[in-house]
Each structure stands twice: as C-alpha cells, then as structure tokens.
Amino acid sequence: MIAFLQSLFRRPEPAIFDARAADAGALARVHANAFLHGWSESEFERLLAERSTVCHVARASGGTGSICGFVISRIIEDEAEILMVAVSRSEQSRGLARRMIARHLGRLAAHGARQVFLEVDEGNAPAIRLYAGAGFEQVGERPGYYAEAGKPPAAALIMRRSLD
C-alpha cells in the first residue's frame, strides 16, 4: 500500500536524447539555472552548429517535459573534451548527470574518441565526485585559473579518462 502511494507521487526520471539546434535556448536556461553566470543562447547556437560538437539533453517527466540537463563535448580526431555538464537545480542529486555522462561517453567512443579531457574548478565537489565516479582521474592543474570577484582564485583540475 505504501509502495503504491509512493509510486503515485514519484516524479518520472528525466529521459536522455540527442540535442537539436533548436535546443540552444533551453540549454542557456539550464546553464543559467545551474550557475550564476550562464552562457548565452547564441553561444550554444554556435556550439550546436559545429560538426565537432556532441551534445545530449535530458527532458523532465520521462522525456515529455522541458530540458532539465545537458552534457556537451567537442571531438578533435581521437580526443574529446567535455565542455560542460549542467542539471537544473530541481533535478540535481537524482543521478541524472551520472546517467547523462555514461550515455555521452558511449557516444564519444562511437565517434572515435579514445580519451576524454575536462577542466573543473577545484572547489566544485559535486562535479569532481561525478567525474571521479565516471572514471576520470586528475592529470594536471592550472593554479588560479578561475577568478571571480570577491573570492580567492581557484585552480582548474584537468581530468582525463581513457575510452579504450
């Protein structure tokens, strides 16, 4: 009985799809929701128009709702770089980024990527935990890379994962 009642109130998991050019505005909204300073819609339009870009989006309510997360990468020859992963605040900590990254890494491998790099702020604990859980290891550091007014500069950690 309790399980039945819980199932009535449980939100369906977001579903993951390939991004389309028309998603640029939604990506900018999710990015602004996840960060204080979002990338603009035109920046996402430009990225989505590039042939080297690979992007997955997650739609809420089992795929019928609005875009609530995305992961976007660029591939050059056999190396890929994850440029951004973001999940709307209301959908965070439900395992969505973990699922998106798993799907995304499979696609990058299918496109010929053999290793994947990314940079992450040393103070971004959720993202570092996400990437470590997805098999990324720290291979370098750029001290003072992230400078924000009113905060001490933070290092960018460079992380890598092999897809072999």
Binding site for ligand COA (CB under 6 A): 34-35, 84-87, 92-98, 120, 124-127, 129-130, 133
The nearer residue to ligand COA, 112 or 148, going by C-beta atoms, is: 148
Closest distance of CB 42 from ligand COA, Å: 20
Q: Which amino acid is at 79?
A: E
Beta carbons within 10 angstroms of residue 32's beta carbon: 16
From CA 121, how far away is CA 145, in angstroms rounded?
Answer: 8
91 CB-near residues (< 8 Å, 6+ apart): 14, 58, 60, 68, 69
The nearer residue to ligand COA, 113 or 159, going by C-beta atoms, is: 159
The nearer residue to ligand COA, 102 or 112, going by C-beta atoms, is: 102
Q: Nearest to ligand COA by Cβ — which residue? A: 97
From CA 71, how far away is CA 83, in angstroms rounded?
Answer: 8
Closest distance of CB 110 from ligand COA, Å: 22
Closest distance of CB 1 from ligand COA, Å: 29
Q: Is 17 helix (H, G, I), strand (E, B) or coil?
A: strand
The nearer residue to ligand COA, 112 or 142, going by C-beta atoms, is: 142
Closest distance of CB 135 from ligand COA, Å: 12
Work out the burial of residue 44: count CB atoms within 10 Å of its CB; fewer than 13 is exposed, 13-18 middle, 19 or more buried.
buried
